[in-house]
Structure 1
Amino acid sequence: MTITLTTQDKATIRTAAYGAVSLLAAAGGAGKPHKIATHGSIALSSATGLVGHVLSEKSGAIKLTGKTVAEMADQVLPALTEAVGLLEKEAPTEAENFRSTVRLALEAAQTHQSSPSPTMTEMTRKITEALDAA
């Protein structure tokens, strides 16, 4: 079975995944947002299957606008739900692969801390909620 995603579908998936890591970094950076982003991005780059192929493509299509966490969340959270929805429609096993990949990235993003901050915990909850909303 060949699955064909549009350029827009791929951009939505990349924006959702990399946006989730960026959102977590913005919400809980506490002076180390680059470590959060780096660990999360490395986890995303290890994805396999269709999701892995999409995430490994040139990420120039990812354009998060906004300067606040709230403005970023307005873009990323709906993109997460949309990405899962389109994958469930086109390739149900890839929808679970996407969810698992994003969850792994969130976990990896927090590995450098002895315990995640309350803001990171809350942002992780919101991201997970958006992943499960589809």
Structure 2
Amino acid sequence: MKITVEKLVRAPGEKVWLAYTTPEDIVQWNAASDDWHTTRSNVDLRVGGAFSSRMEAKDGSFGFDFAGTYTQVIPKQLLEYSFGDRSAKVEFIETPDGVNVRVTFDAEETHSLEQQQQGWQAILDNFARHVEGKGK
């Protein structure tokens, strides 16, 4: 089953793309809640290139690596990647008001569909706040 989350980011396309694909930005926005953070991120932004982010609870009680391989990269338009036996697609859709970022991903079986949707939406909401809060 596929799950889709999306968010309008009120910023220019180049700024949105760079914030989504630059490790220095990713560590600032990639968390589903205030008690989690991303401690490091690596991006090899090309088809066949690998990416990874280390996500940890701020209290040190738990952490995991989110990693995968890019399967399609169209700058400022589309990212597709595989992670484990799952895949995801990130669309960057230009609108008069900014960029609508739409993420569609394969659900997993450990957490409920609602939990997964809420978690990925929270990360996307953090992303929008980060981009919109950055200077021009």
Instruction: Work out whether the TM-score is over 0.5.
Output: no
What is the TM-score normalised by the length of structure 1? 0.36
Which has the larger share of helix? 1
Q: Which has the higher contact order (CA 8 A, sep 6+)?
A: 1
Which has the larger share of strand? 2
